[in-house]
Amino acid sequence: MTDEGREERRDVVPDDDAEPEEEAWESEVELTVDPPGAGRRLDAFLASRRDLGLSRSHIQKLIAEGLVTIDGEETKASYRLRAGDRVRVTVPFPEPLEVEPEPIPLDIVYEDNHLVVLNKPRGLVVHPAPGHLRGTLVNALLAHCDRLSGIAGVCRPGIVHRLDRDTSGVMVVAKTDQAHRSLSEQIRARTAQRRYLALVHGDVAAEEGTIETRIGRDPVNRKKMAVVREGGREAVTHYRVLERYVDFTLVECALRTGRTHQIRVHMDHIGHPVAGDPVYGPRRPRRLRREMARSMALVVDDGYPEAIGALEGQALHAHFLTFRHPATGEPMEFRVPMPPDMERAVAELRRRGPLPLGPRGPSPAGSGGRVPPPR
């Protein structure tokens, strides 16, 4: 039972790391509108339901295609609901894609008959999706490997977990279905560990902490994700400070959940956006630096770090991955270096003078650095 409707649902849902609306799934939802939902527009009502996970524009498209009905009849997006209306929503499978092998260079860290471990560069999309049908990691893997696991489907062969297009770092890809099942279960059980390095703006207050919120589509800009009060999905990020510099901090993050843009959204949420992030980072980093300097009573007389301005994208890198080999059970551990522009930024900040580790005052959320969900 929900606040506004009772439902029955039959679907196959994508994994937690899937980009919202980049992948559709076959789904039929039937619900009866309860009195709290009466009087609302059909499209707004359906877009507000977090169980559907669809934007208002996507809902409107489904309505226009006749895939949303009221009491078995097609209707308009502007239809005002009445108590007792029976609403059915159908989300079809995506159109099948022809995924072609492409000779794209790969940075292979380790490979055997069961799996491939690689260092994904920033800017490479992991698998084909609307708007990115070619030039993806999957296209490259199909050219490199004789076989890949088929569990994830024709568009995502071998893909066990993902990284955002603009996040670099270590990934494991399954060649066999057995390996895929084992690695997926290790990730679900959190026995496989993934850690990220993030160079963020400002001086992070606590040495370590946990950010715990809900993340969903930004209500203003649907192309972004945001911390939301209602709806969304639970998101938990653990972080610890590795190095402090003037105006910047290098942190290591570990994810307990795998939401889209999770680290970027969470670090921005606590006031420390990832350096070089074109979406969640400050639009005017020089002004931000002056404002932070005033708040910390620092003197700004040495100019803005050139290597920060020269970052080719967000300074977020998956540097560590550990799991047990799916065939032998042997512990496997991999570390990959930061991309060159991130290395240069850290090196310049170190030359300017690192700050001592230790708490810098109260964290944004109080004791322990825990950030609770918004109220």
Element (H, E) at 110: strand 108-111
Using only the alpha carbons of the chain, give its radius of gyration. Answer: 23
Q: Which of the following is catalytic: 17, 164, 166, 247?
A: 164
* Beta carbons of 227 and 214 less than 8 angstroms apart: yes
* Beta carbons of 308 and 248 less than 8 angstroms apart: yes
In the chain, alpha helices (H): 42-47, 56-64, 137-144, 177-189, 262-269, 285-295, 306-309, 340-352
For residue 42, the SS3 value is: helix
Query: What DSSP state is assigned to residue 71?
Result: T
Burial class (CB in 10 A: 0-12, 13-18, 19+), 367: exposed
164: annotated active-site residue: yes
Chain centroid to CA 337: how far?
Answer: 21
Q: What amino acid is encoded at 249 in this protein? A: T
Known catalytic residues are 164
